[in-house]
Chains A and B, each alone.
Chain A
């Protein structure tokens, strides 16, 4: 009887984790492709995928953020017709999510949640994530079209990840207040 209870508890945890990662991956895909904020100077767009990666890192930790962020960005590149960027997006955004999660939620303390994670720690995680993302995409673009032309993308990536970190911190705090059961998803 005790074995059955433990087994069903274990299987429900696995099902919840799978569902969490799948839904967050889908959210990253949607936020990459649907909401676009136009940038005036270079006539490009910045997407909100970094918002969701920050959100996942601050709420659910490194592994969920790495898988959802990396996989979601790669799938968004595939669906958007930029398949050549997909493997690199998988690695860059995966690393970004993992490092941000490690800094924002470093230990599995019993009562550590986004509500009591200080904002400075989230901001630090965001800044480090920004550096990882911009450096990763710069190296990828250099591989495709050289070091100097790849510099053109750096300001745009900085802007996108900066906006993502700021909105991600605000949204993480406000989502926990709006929907408190979210904190039980990873326990």
Chain B
């Protein structure tokens, strides 16, 4: 199990400062919920997909669309029957399948959802987890909270591996190993696995606490950090660029 969504690639998004990227992400995510013309939101979607293709390539760029496809299908099933105002657009016999209002509502929800998905995923694809944590620290996340997140990421693969091993060893003890098991038995079988995995995880807590204490954690002296983000003139330029792009979008496409 990997704890990093970063994909090595090329493009201007990789060189943009992570702080500017985070500001831009937040501003765009707020903007799609404000009154905007539909064409503006769809333009944002197409622009995000184009940036994704440029940054990570064709194969990876469309994976968020595949992920949100089930949600779009659910929207397509429900929204036309919820919004019945306006001119009828699709009629079968005497039954109105979709009205103009329902198509506009579906377009609004779908474009908003796809835009936010791509904006968030582009941020995590083009920024390493260490840089994201350094960014959050720069914005004021306290040292202890960032240490908790760092330690959690460090232990996720370890606990995942342990869970798989415990799960396999419990399964091998069953007489039905290798056979198809009824779902009720699967739920029953998961109890000893979950308990064993939790006990295994809890046993690592005192060792981790001891390691932190040996490194002087909890004392009153000021902590230093190994990684930090440089603050130079380009930071102001990048942040200004993020804000200017968002404001430009708003000016062009607000309703």
Contacts and interface: CB of A to CB of B under 8 A. Distances in A.
Contacts of B21: none
* Interface size class, chain A: 35 or more
Contacts of B105: 146
B152 A75 contact: yes
Nearest to B218: A11
Contacts of B198: 27, 52, 55, 171, 175
Interface residues of B, number: 69
B82 interface: yes
Contacts of B164: 34
Interface in B80-133: 81-82, 105, 109-110, 112-113, 116-117, 120-121, 123-124
B213 A40 contact: no
A15 B217 contact: yes
Contacts of A98: none
Given A19-B212, A148-B79, A175-B199, A10 B218 contact: yes
Nearest to A33: B1
B34 interface: no
B234 interface: no
A71 interface: yes
A29 B105 CA distance: 35
Contacts of B109: 144-146, 149
B82 A148 contact: yes
Interface string B180-219: 0001001100110111011101111110111011000111
B201 A23 contact: yes
B159 A18 contact: no
Contact of B82 (A18, A79, A146): A146
B77 interface: yes
B113 A149 contact: no
Interface in A61-104: 67, 71-72, 75, 78-79, 81-84, 86
A20 B187 contact: no
Given A79-B5, A149-B77, A71 B149 contact: yes
B120 A72 contact: no
A83 B124 contact: yes
Nearest to B216: A11
Given A23-B205, A26-B159, A175-B195, A145 B219 contact: no
A81 B63 contact: yes
B152 A26 contact: yes
Contact of A81 (B82, B121, B197, B219): B121
Contacts of B153: 26, 75
Given A12-B218, A34-B163, A145-B113, A48 B144 contact: no
Nearest to A182: B202
Interface stretch (B67-75, B222-230, B236-244, B247-255): B67-75
Given A14-B217, A16-B209, A149-B78, A30 B148 contact: no
A147 B81 CA distance: 12
B147 interface: yes
B156 interface: yes
Given A81-B67, A84-B113, A84-B116, A34 B1 contact: yes
B199 A18 contact: no
A120 interface: no
A146 B190 CA distance: 36
A15 B195 contact: no
Contact of B149 (A34, A75, A147, A178): A75
A15 B113 contact: no
Given A14-B218, A145-B75, 6 more contacts: A12-B218, A81-B64, A148-B79, A170-B191, A171-B194, A171-B198
29 contacts: A11-B217, A12-B218, A14-B218, A16-B209, A18-B144, A19-B205, A20-B205, A23-B205, A24-B201, A26-B152, A30-B160, A37-B190, A48-B190, A67-B148, A71-B149, A75-B156, A83-B117, A84-B113, A146-B78, A147-B82, A149-B74, A149-B78, A163-B187, A167-B190, A171-B191, A175-B199, A179-B199, A179-B202, A185-B205
